Every structure is written in structure tokens, then in C-alpha cells.
A and B are shown apart, each in its own frame.
Chain A
Amino acid sequence: MLSISRRSGAPFMLIALFEVFGFAILSIREGALGLAEHLIDPMGIILMAGALFLLILQYWLLPALFRYIDRYVMILYNTLFAVGIVMQYRLNAQIAVKQMLFFTIGLVAMAVIIGIFQSGWLHEGRRWLYFSAGLLLLGVAMVFGTVTRGARNWIEIGSFTLQPSEFAKVALVFVLACYLREKRRFWGYTPLFAFVGISVILLVLQKDLGAALLFYMTFLLLLYVATSNWGYLGAGLGALAVGGVISYKLFDHVRLRVAVWQNPWSMVDDGGYQIVQGLMALVSGGVFGSGLGLGSPKYIPAYRTDYIFAVISEEFGILFGVLLIGLYVLLVFRGAAIARRANNAFHALLALGVTVMIALQSFIIIGGVIKLIPLTGVTLPLVSYGGSSMLSTMMLMGILLAVSQENGRADAETLDEAYDEEEWDEEDGDDNYQEDDV
């Protein structure tokens, strides 16, 4: 595989360059047009400085703290964030400042997770912790939740709002990994089935269909990976189809969503408005985009969250949109590689769970925006605006990096032992995957 020198700063330089140009262009835009008091918007310069500072800090500090963490993953999440933060600043400076703050907190959370993971505290035996954390987070929204845009998935704490289902994703990844790490008989998975079932039902009751789909599909794919059982996958997908048909028959909003997907143009004035506006934005910039700041993204409802992909595609061009999809593909590659290198099934499933979660989420929202699949509102990881989403995604990144760190440490130890014993053994000696009777 293509490799960059461990210490190479080139990719980080490119990200920095993108941020410098992006913020520079945007911060003089209004001034140059005579729309603002100052020629240069000070907020833009502050944000630029902040973004560069975070980049440099990560570049020096993270490898110093955690020697073996995967630098590709670092580059990828930083690139995605850079695109996101420049776009958020173009849309609204105040929002961009908040997003920058969320990312900073997210980085801290990520580092803390890697640290705790390294200490061994977050091990596979703590299943009741992961279980109760997940259910608690989802239950809290059910009990204390406020209704936003038809979905009861937010809770308010003082002036802050949180979306607990975002954090439940982190718990889900742990629950899946610790339950699926060893093969069991069908009934052995009962607690896991119960957990996923309750979670999905709670999410559906909160009308957070995007998260419900995300939870269920992540569970199904990981179940297949752990058991190699096509029956589970087939039955699971069958159940999804049946559930889909039933909810289509039962719920008006589901029917509307499908109808809107099939032909948004026939109901431009009500249900189809968002999709139609999104499609028009998507293509309005052509292949190379209308140029940063020259599009008209604010006609699309949810332009800074769910529809950020259409906004990016309008201003940066469809080609850039394709490349953005490419970044998620690279993340999948990298996540899968880390999972494969993992020392044990628990680590492998953790890394894969994170990968699947992020890949699914970006597929669901981009697919919805380009009208490939019915629209389901989830955020575009690391690019969309949103505190809970940013924080939980960074926590997921933390898990992925923690596994890569463990992989590296284990490799180093094997290397040391090999030196000690003066024998070079190519044996694939990490098969400590426990098999119960199957």
C-alpha cells in the first residue's frame, strides 16, 4: 500500500493551505464588495488561526502521546473537517465558531478515549456498562426529549441541546464488539438482539428513522462479519423489508417520504420542496462549481446540516463532490485495514463498527440528497454542522485510532520479543479468537 513517511507533514500542509485560502477568500469577500465595514472580516482570520492551530497541535501532539496511531485516519478526518468548517464559515460565521468549538471538544474527547482505551479500562468484559449507557442515552431522550422537526430526539440542558442518540452510537459499537467477539449459538445472542431491538424501537418512537436504520444496519453487518452466517444477514434484511412495508402501510410520513422520493417535482410546493431545491443546488454549479461564496445555498432547508453535500457541490462543483465521496471511501479502506490488523476480535469489531457506522451514515445522506434512495435525515459525518454529531463522530474516530494504537503497540512488542528470542517467526500467531461450541 502507498505509504507516506511517518513524519511527513505534506498532507497536513495541504489541508492548511486549503483552510488558509478558503478563509482568506471568504473573509475579504464582503469587504471587497463594500457590504461590510472592514475590508477583512476579523472572524475569518480568527477562525483561520484556530483551524491552523488545531492542525499543528494534532500534528505534534497526537503522535507524541500515542506513537502508533494511524496517520491516514488523522489526515482524513482533518480533511473532512476542513471542508466542513470553510463551508460553515461561508454560510454563517457564528455557526462556524461554534463548530470549531465542537471540533476542539471532539479532539479532546478523542484523545481521552484513546488514553482510556490504552489503559485497558474499556475492555470487552464491561458489557453491562456499554449496555446500560446505550439504553440510558436513548431512554433519556424518550423521557426528557423535546420535539424538533417532528422528531423527539433532543434534550435540553440549560441553554445546551444534546442529541443522545448520537452518543448511543458509541455505546452500540462497544456493545456489538463485546457480544460478537465470540461465536455463540443463536440464543446466546438474545441480550444483544434485545438491546438492538429496544434501541431501534426507541428510535422509531422518537421518529429518528435515520438513526434507527443506522443502528440496525450496523448491527446486521457486524453480526455477519462475526458469524459468517448468511442466514442472519438474509433474515435481517428480510425483516428490514417487512418492517419497511409495514411502516409504509401504517405511517403517512413514511408514505409521503417515498412518494416524494419517486417524484419530488410533482409536489414541489410541499413535500418535495427540499429534495427539489437540493437537486437544483447540486447541479447549479456545474462540474467545477460556481465558486466559493458565489452559490445560493440558503434556499435549501437544512442547508448546513443534512444538505451540506448539495451546498458543497454547488460551490465547489460536482467533481469536488465526487472527490468528497472518495474521502469516505478512503476512510472505509483505512478502517477495514485497521480492523484486519487488530489483535483480537473485540478490537477488530470495534474498528469495523466505527467504519461501518460512518460509511453507512455518509451513504444514507448523500444517497438521499442525490435522490438515489429516499431521504433520511442524518448528518454528513465531520462536515455537517452539529455539536452532538461532531462529538460522537470524533469519539468514534477515537475508537478507531485507539485500535490502531493497540495494533502498533502489539506489533512493537512482538518485534521486541522476536529480538529477544532471536527468531523471526512469520506465524500468524494472534488467533486468540475464542470459539464456543458452534
Chain B
Amino acid sequence: MKEVRRNIWFIAAVFITLFVVLVVSLVYNTAIYGGRWVNSPYNPRLREQRALVTPGDILDRNGVTLATTDDQGNRIYNGRKAVRKAYCHVVGDAYGFCPTGAETFHASTLLGYNADILSQIRQVLLQEPVRGNDLTLTIDVELQTLAASQLGSQKGAIALINYKTGEILALASTPGFDPSAIEGAESIADFSSEDAVLINRATQGRYVPGSIFKVVTAIAALERAGISTTWEFACTGSIEVDGGVVTCSGVHGKVNLVEAFAQSCNTAFAALGLEVGGANMAAAAEKAGFNEDFMFQDLTLYSSRYEMNAYSDDYDLAWSAIGQSTDTVTPLHMAMLAGAVANGGIAKEPRLVVRSDTVTGFLRSTMTDQRYMSTATAQTIQEMMLETVASGTGKKAAVAGYEVAGKTGTAEVGGSKSPHAWFIGYVADSDHPLAIAVVVENGGGGGSVAAPIASAVFAEAIQSGY
């Protein structure tokens, strides 16, 4: 019986632990994911609320109205169709067809669902017409429109951020849709065509990175394998790995790490990746935000994937080191990576909303900035990226009067399709802390297609004073 008594306390302790886990999980999940759950396009409460409440306006950083509501209760978007199509994925639509847009993701702010109880009571008692809160975005609608027009009729995405604050200045995805026209659409099927117009390619598009991934390989080599910039490799145009062959864009001869990076030498980086090893590659990639489920406060960003590990075979590892194999990345994350290089290794949490001083404002001020690499590594990578634009594959990204750094990518997508054209980079000027990622689907060479777009967007942004 004594034994039984002792065991009874044990069982009680087990259950109390279980209930504590229950409470912790409830509180933690509510705090971390609660906002997303409430703002889900599937939440019928928001639809209910929308019938009772006039949603607030959505403005750009300069106060330009992106979305408002007229007297009849119709949602009105910007007057120019090109502008509407340029910002459609960022702003979203009133029906939640494009659920990553601010109209849905920030619905509880726009609908005042999180208004405090006193103002709710006042509104009921005085029968005031209820209006939600306005939302000011960090994007500049002019830059946004320019970015979209740079992509033109091609499919692709551009993410332009301020790497010191994390503010997103432009987040373009083409093809776009017209949020004003969605009302007439019979169903979501009218819009979700083969072109996937409802997808925000800048945050949800998972692309093969190609050579821009060499930034990560270089970080791994510098930080985890004790390799320095004097590391040398003789490129003969191809390298045999594990019975397979990794080919290069040319025969680069004897190159050091900086030259290999600037010339985007595949064989050198394949060999580098093998030397660094799968475990180090995976560790460096994960430190740089790969495989992470981003839980940003302002927007949804799909994760980039790097799936090699200590047990991967050499052939896959070699290809993964040059951004092929199973590597996939999202454009905004790549802009963050370029920004982290420029910012001494720190990637700022991307911000889409200009903070307002609400009572609950203190909750929003805690941003999760992350260190993607050490400051010393960042400085070395900066040299390599500057060299790439100065004399390497990224020359066309240059902006007159400013130092631009970057990395091009020409990502093979298999079959007879043209490769994706990539450019990631930044402006090396502390007055203009701009970082960018450009991807053009099946656009061709990164240096010839994506780099000039980056140059044009940078030039316009600098002109506008960012």
C-alpha cells in the first residue's frame, strides 16, 4: 500500500506536467501563430466583420492611397491599372483570393477586429458607423510600379529592401492581376490560371538559385572549413565527381576564390563544396536562414530549402554547391541574404508595415533580426561581390556614381527551357542601404538579363532618395 501511495503521487505529477505542457503550448502557439490564425482568409469572423465594418485604407509610405472604401461600401483601388497590377500581390484583394496580401494578412487591423473593448462599446452605444484602422505600407508605389514594368511581360519577381531597417521598398511579382476586376470574377478559377497570377512570386516562388547560391558556399568555406581567399583551383571546363560530370560556363584556368566567385566558375565551386563537406554546407545554409519557417510579423515568406547533409553523396553535394540539385530559394529571402552581407552579417526582419503608435505597439516592436554570417566573413564576401560587379559577370548591374556589389545566377531548370536569370546584390553606400533580388523565369543569363534590371531599380531608388 505504501508503494501504491508513492506511485499515486507519481501519476499525479505526470498529469500535472502534461497539463503544464498543455498550457505552455496554448499560450506559446497563441502568441506566435495567433495573428496568422485570426487573419486567415478562411476565418468567417472577418467576413462577418467586413459586413459590419468599413475597412481602413491602405497607403504607401508616402501616403498615396492604394486601397480605400467609397460611400457605397465598395473597395476602391488605385486609379491606374498598371499601378494596381504592380502592387496587387502586396495589397491583395477584398475577397482573399490572394491570401498573402495585406488586405487579408492584416485584415484584423483594417477591420478593427482588435479594437479595444471601450471603443467597441462606444461604437455600439452611439451607433457610430464603425471604421477599421488605416494601414501604411513600407513600399513606395512608384518604385513598385517601376520594378514591375522592368519585368514587363516576363514572369519573375523583384524584392528591394532597405538592409539597415528591413523595410521592403518594392516587392514585385509578374504576371499580376487587377484587384478591381476580381469582383466580377465568377470564381477563383478565373484567376488561378497556368500563370499562377495569384501567387506572389517574390515571397512564395521557390526557385532554383543557380550561381547566386555560391554566396552560401563561400560563407561555408570561409567560416567553417578554414579556407581563405587565396584558395586556388585550376578550371578545365569540367570536373568529374563520383562518376558524373559538373560542367562550367567556360575554361577559367587557374583562379583564386575571389576570381572564381566573380567569374562564377562552376567547377571551382563544385570542388569547394566537396572540400567543405555536406555537414558544413548544411550548417552554413541553415545559419543563413535556409530551411527556416519564417514567422515574420508583417508577411508570409516561404522557406528556402537546402537538403544536403553529412551523408549526401558527392555528386549531389557538388551540384548543390553551385545552386542546382534540390536547392530552392525564395526571392525575398535572397534579398535578405544580400542585405546581410552588406549589413555586416545581420539580416533584418523584413517589414511591410510602417509602425503606428498604438496601445499595443510595444508588441510589434520586437523584430527578430538574425545573424547570417560573422562580420569578418561578411566583409570578405563584400569584396567578392564588389569584384563581381566591377570586373566579373555582374558588370551590367553597375550604377553610375555608386558602388554596386552582387552575384549573378543562371539557374538551369532542366529540359529545353531557358534558365532562370538571377541577380542579388546591394549598393555599397551607407546613405543608400539598398539590397535587391531579381529573378526572371526562363529569362536567360543572369548577367545579361537580371543584372540590368537591378541596375535600373537601384538607380531609380537612389534618385528617389532611398
Residues of A at under 8 Å CB distance from B? 221, 224-226, 228, 265, 268, 276-277, 279-280, 282-284, 286, 288, 291, 296, 299, 318, 321-322, 325, 328-329, 332-333, 335-336, 339-340, 344-345, 348-349, 352, 355-356, 359-360, 363, 366-367, 370-372, 428, 430-433
In Å, the complex CA distance between A363 and B12 comes to 13
Interface residues of B in 44-80 (CB under 8 A from A): 44-45, 48
Partner of B22, one of A288, A318, A349, A367: A367
In Å, the complex CA distance between A339 and B7 comes to 11
Interface residues of B in 14-69 (CB under 8 A from A): 14-16, 18-19, 21-23, 25-27, 29-30, 33-34, 37-38, 40, 42-45, 48
In Å, the complex CA distance between A282 and B23 comes to 13
Interface centre among B7, B33, B117 (most CB of A within 10 A): B7
Tell whether A345 pairs with B4 under 8 Å between CB atoms, given A268-B42, A283-B38, A296-B48. Answer: yes
In Å, the complex CA distance between A322 and B27 comes to 8
Is B5 part of the contact surface with A, judged by Cβ < 8 Å? yes
- Does B5 lie within 8 Å of A322, measured CB to CB? no
- Does A340 lie within 8 Å of B9, measured CB to CB? yes
Is B242 part of the contact surface with A, judged by Cβ < 8 Å? no
In Å, the complex CA distance between A352 and B10 comes to 12
Partner of B23, one of A325, A344, A371: A325
Tell whether A283 pairs with B21 under 8 Å between CB atoms, given A329-B16, A345-B1, A432-B1. Answer: no
Within the complex, the shortest CB–CB distance from A1 to chain B, in Å, comes to 13
Tell whether A282 pairs with B4 under 8 Å between CB atoms, given A329-B16, A372-B22. Answer: no
Is B234 part of the contact surface with A, judged by Cβ < 8 Å? no
- Does B16 lie within 8 Å of A348, measured CB to CB? no
- Does A296 lie within 8 Å of B45, measured CB to CB? yes
Chain B residues lying within 8 Å of A339, measured Cβ to Cβ, are: 8
In Å, the complex CA distance between A321 and B25 comes to 12
Within the complex, the shortest CB–CB distance from B250 to chain A, in Å, comes to 44
Q: Whose C-beta in chain B lies nearest to the C-beta of A428?
A: B2
Chain B residues lying within 8 Å of A336, measured Cβ to Cβ, are: 8-9, 11-12
- Does B29 lie within 8 Å of A371, measured CB to CB? yes
Within the complex, the shortest CB–CB distance from B5 to chain A, in Å, comes to 5
Tell whether A228 pairs with B3 under 8 Å between CB atoms, given A276-B40, A296-B44. Answer: yes
Tell whether A356 pairs with B11 under 8 Å between CB atoms, given A318-B26, A318-B27, A431-B2. Answer: yes
Is B368 part of the contact surface with A, judged by Cβ < 8 Å? no
- Does A221 lie within 8 Å of B29, measured CB to CB? no
- Does B26 lie within 8 Å of A321, measured CB to CB? yes
Smallest CB-CB A-B distances: 7 pairs = A433-B1, A336-B12, A283-B34, A225-B7, A359-B15, A280-B43, A372-B25
- Does A366 lie within 8 Å of B45, measured CB to CB? no
In Å, the complex CA distance between A436 and B10 comes to 24
- Does B1 lie within 8 Å of A283, measured CB to CB? no
- Does B1 lie within 8 Å of A370, measured CB to CB? no
Partner of A322, one of B18, B26, B37: B26
Give me 7 other A-B pairs in contact (C-beta within 8 A), A318-B26, A372-B22 excluded.
Answer: A225-B7, A286-B114, A325-B26, A328-B19, A332-B16, A348-B5, A363-B18
Within the complex, the shortest CB–CB distance from B364 to chain A, in Å, comes to 15
Chain A residues lying within 8 Å of B29, measured Cβ to Cβ, are: 370-371
Within the complex, the shortest CB–CB distance from A183 to chain B, in Å, comes to 9
Count B-side interface residues using an 8 Å CB cutoff.
36
In Å, the complex CA distance between A328 and B20 comes to 11
Interface centre among A280, A299, A433 (most CB of B within 10 A): A280
- Does A363 lie within 8 Å of B15, measured CB to CB? yes
Partner of A284, one of B16, B27, B38: B38
Q: Whose C-beta in chain A lies nearest to the C-beta of B44?
A: A299
Tell whether A322 pairs with B7 under 8 Å between CB atoms, given A431-B1, A431-B2. Answer: no
- Does B12 lie within 8 Å of A332, measured CB to CB? yes
In Å, the complex CA distance between A38 and B23 comes to 41
Partner of A366, one of B2, B22, B34, B114: B22
Within the complex, the shortest CB–CB distance from A67 to chain B, in Å, comes to 24
Chain A residues lying within 8 Å of B7, measured Cβ to Cβ, are: 224-226, 228
In Å, the complex CA distance between A259 and B37 comes to 18
- Does A348 lie within 8 Å of B38, measured CB to CB? no
Q: Whose C-beta in chain A lies nearest to the C-beta of B43?
A: A280
Q: Whose C-beta in chain B lies nearest to the C-beta of A300?
A: B44
- Does B16 lie within 8 Å of A225, measured CB to CB? no
In Å, the complex CA distance between A360 and B22 comes to 12
Within the complex, the shortest CB–CB distance from A216 to chain B, in Å, comes to 15
- Does B37 lie within 8 Å of A283, measured CB to CB? yes
Q: Whose C-beta in chain A lies nearest to the C-beta of B12?
A: A336
In Å, the complex CA distance between A279 and B114 comes to 17
25 interchain pairs (CB within 8 A)? A224-B7, A226-B4, A228-B3, A276-B42, A277-B44, A279-B37, A280-B42, A291-B117, A318-B26, A322-B23, A325-B22, A329-B15, A335-B12, A336-B8, A336-B12, A348-B1, A348-B4, A348-B5, A355-B12, A355-B15, A359-B15, A360-B15, A367-B22, A370-B26, A431-B2
Partner of B30, one of A283, A355, A372, A432: A283
Chain B residues lying within 8 Å of A282, measured Cβ to Cβ, are: 26, 30, 37
Within the complex, the shortest CB–CB distance from B45 to chain A, in Å, comes to 5
- Does B8 lie within 8 Å of A325, measured CB to CB? no
In Å, the complex CA distance between A333 and B14 comes to 11
Q: Whose C-beta in chain B lies nearest to the C-beta of A313?
A: B26
In Å, the complex CA distance between A336 and B40 comes to 42
Within the complex, the shortest CB–CB distance from B46 to chain A, in Å, comes to 9
In Å, the complex CA distance between A355 and B12 comes to 9
In Å, the complex CA distance between A265 and B117 comes to 30
In Å, the complex CA distance between A356 and B16 comes to 11
In Å, the complex CA distance between A335 and B16 comes to 12
In Å, the complex CA distance between A225 and B11 comes to 8
Within the complex, the shortest CB–CB distance from A349 to chain B, in Å, comes to 8
- Does A325 lie within 8 Å of B11, measured CB to CB? no
- Does A318 lie within 8 Å of B11, measured CB to CB? no
Q: Whose C-beta in chain A lies nearest to the C-beta of B41?
A: A268
Within the complex, the shortest CB–CB distance from A16 to chain B, in Å, comes to 26
- Does A329 lie within 8 Å of B19, measured CB to CB? yes
Within the complex, the shortest CB–CB distance from B453 to chain A, in Å, comes to 34
Chain B residues lying within 8 Å of A370, measured Cβ to Cβ, are: 22, 25-26, 29
In Å, the complex CA distance between A248 and B16 comes to 29
Chain B residues lying within 8 Å of A268, measured Cβ to Cβ, are: 42
Chain A residues lying within 8 Å of B45, measured Cβ to Cβ, are: 280, 284, 296, 299
Interface centre among B16, B22, B43 (most CB of A within 10 A): B22
In Å, the complex CA distance between A208 and B218 comes to 56
Partner of B11, one of A286, A329, A352, A431: A352
Within the complex, the shortest CB–CB distance from B4 to chain A, in Å, comes to 6
Within the complex, the shortest CB–CB distance from B49 to chain A, in Å, comes to 9
Within the complex, the shortest CB–CB distance from B350 to chain A, in Å, comes to 21
Q: Whose C-beta in chain B lies nearest to the C-beta of A351?
A: B8
- Does A318 lie within 8 Å of B30, measured CB to CB? yes
Tell whether A332 pairs with B1 under 8 Å between CB atoms, given A224-B7, A284-B38, A318-B27. Answer: no
Chain B residues lying within 8 Å of A277, measured Cβ to Cβ, are: 42, 44
Chain B residues lying within 8 Å of A367, measured Cβ to Cβ, are: 22, 25
Within the complex, the shortest CB–CB distance from B37 to chain A, in Å, comes to 5
Chain A residues lying within 8 Å of B30, measured Cβ to Cβ, are: 282-283, 318
- Does B8 lie within 8 Å of A348, measured CB to CB? yes
Within the complex, the shortest CB–CB distance from A378 to chain B, in Å, comes to 15
- Does B2 lie within 8 Å of A284, measured CB to CB? no
Q: Whose C-beta in chain A lies nearest to the C-beta of B13?
A: A336
In Å, the complex CA distance between A348 and B4 comes to 8
In Å, the complex CA distance between A359 and B11 comes to 11
Chain A residues lying within 8 Å of B1, measured Cβ to Cβ, are: 344-345, 348, 430-433
- Does A284 lie within 8 Å of B11, measured CB to CB? no
Partner of B19, one of A228, A299, A332, A345: A332
Chain A residues lying within 8 Å of B4, measured Cβ to Cβ, are: 225-226, 345, 348-349, 433
